Amino acid sequence: MGALQDRVAIISGAGTGLGRAASISFASAGADVVLLGRRKAKLEETALAVKERTGKEALILQTDVSDEAQVQEAIAAAIRHFNRIDVIVNNAAVFEPGTVLELTSNEWQNQIAINLTGPFLLTKAVLPAMRKAKYGRIINITSGLSWNGAGGYAAYSAAKAGLESLTRTLADEEHEHGILVNLYNPGTLRTEMHATGKDPAIVTPDLIRLASLPIGGPTGTIVSYG
């Protein structure tokens, strides 16, 4: 049996990159996977890859994670389909350049909405089901830019710093309910957002370990690849 046998895992940003790699790896480890993303065609490509590699049928839910109504409907649909949610990987992100002086208010708000508000909305939506089950594993994808910043990436860096603080807060609030909340920094990956870096599949074993932590396992921590 795989490390995630009979678990249900939601993965945001599942259409490409780390989200796609995680979806395949989680299904290979025995999980039923729910794919969230804005581009249905990309989600369908991921679902096909999951089916070809594992024989499992992934649930596709086209969702803008920054839209609260869409998030709530997606989580409700996932619960109707599988009757539970055990794991969520908050991976959806936009990585767009812009200095503080250059960024428009709308550009700033868009990156905060997807990179920080999105994980907040998804987590808020899954918490009632996780609390009821007295079990949950939440993994938030972060970046080294959260603590050292980077000239030209003001909104992304600020959003990831906020996500790290949110993660530690959630860990404190939810541990008594059997819910573990951790951060994962994969380093530079070769994805649509970045032309060079590691193959995302290389880091997915770390995600599986965080997704399958035992009761009383670490929470509020940050794990980095390598």
Task: Please write the tens of the pLDDT for every residue from 82-136.
Answer: 999 999 999 999 988 899 999 999 999 999 999 999 999 999 999 999 999 999 9
Q: Which residue has the higher pLDDT, 152 or 11?
A: 11
User: Is residue 189 scored above 80 in pLDDT?
Assistant: no
Domain assignment present for residue 103? The answer is yes
Domain assignment present for residue 178? The answer is yes
What's the pLDDT score for residue 172?
98
Mind telling me the catalytic residues? 156
- Average pLDDT of the chain is 93
- How far is residue 191's CA from residue 155's CA, in Å, rounded to a whole number? 19
137 close to 212: Cβ distance less than 8 angstroms: yes
Tokens at 136, concatenated: 């949950």
| Angle, vertex CA 96, rays to CA 93 and CA 102, nearest 5 | 140
Bridge partners (DSSP) of residue 179 are 136
For the full predicted model, state whether its pTM sits above 0.75.
yes
Closest CA to 27 of 75, 74, 89: 89
Closest CA to 15 of 156, 155, 175, 200: 200
pLDDT-based confidence at residue 225 (cuts at 50, 70, 90): confident
Measured over the CA atoms of residue 68, residue 89, residue 196 and residue 108, the dihedral's sign is positive
Closest CA to 160 of 172, 169, 148, 152: 148
Give Cβ neighbours of residue 103 (< 8 Å, ≥ 6 apart): 154, 155
Domain assignment present for residue 196? The answer is yes
User: Is residue 47 scored above 90 in pLDDT?
Assistant: yes
Backbone angles phi and psi of 59, in degrees to 5: -95, 120
Give Cβ neighbours of residue 196 (< 8 Å, ≥ 6 apart): 188, 190
What's the pLDDT score for residue 146?
60
Instruction: Give the domain CATH number at 73.
Output: 3.40.50.720
Bridge partners (DSSP) of residue 191 are 194
pLDDT-based confidence at residue 148 (cuts at 50, 70, 90): low
Domain assignment present for residue 112? The answer is yes
* Total of domains in the chain: 1
Tokens at 219, concatenated: 């929470």
Domain assignment present for residue 3? The answer is no
Kindly write down the DSSP assignment for every residue of 133-193, as one continuous string. HT-EEEEEE--THHHH--TTBHHHHHHHHHHHHHHHHHHHHHGGGTEEEEEEE--SB-BTT
Q: How many percent of the chain have pLDDT more than 70?
A: 92
Least confident of 51-65, 100-114, 146-160, 198-212: 146-160
Domain assignment present for residue 2? The answer is no
Bridge partners (DSSP) of residue 59 are 34
Domain of residue 144: give its range. 8-224
